[in-house]
Amino acid sequence: MPTYSVLADVNEQEIQNAQELVSIWGDVRQDIEDLGGEPLDSYALAGSYDFLLTFEVPDEDTVLQASIAIERYGLDTETMRAVPTEQFGELVTDI
């Protein structure tokens, strides 16, 4: 399954405190699993974004559904396909 990464920012108008934010991660993971995906990792970030999530899903339709599900929890997201460096190296040598 393809891997995707989501850079997420907290929408302060919807999430008021850190405890509320922590409580949504289980729901986010469950939503991804319910869509047939596999949650991989999540990180709090110090920088332009608040969080990084990674997950695998079977296809592009599912990644769109997952992104919409994540945004329901008050996170503004940017979702991108993530290609392992080894695979990227193979793609480059094929050109």
Comparing 15-19, 40-44, 79-83, the range with the smallest average pLDDT is 15-19
Amino acid at 47: G
Find the DSSP H helices in 1-95. 18-34, 60-71, 85-93
Query: The dihedral of CA 30, 35, 41, 47: what is its sign?
Result: negative
Give the per-residue pLDDT at 74.
85
CA distances from 68 to 15, 22, 64, 78 (A): 17, 19, 6, 11
Could you read off the pLDDT of 54-77 as tens digits, one per residue? Answer: 999 999 999 999 999 999 988 899
Q: Domain limits of the chain?
A: 3-93
Q: What is the mean pLDDT of the chain?
A: 87
Q: Which fold has domain 3-93?
A: Alpha-Beta Plaits (3.30.70)
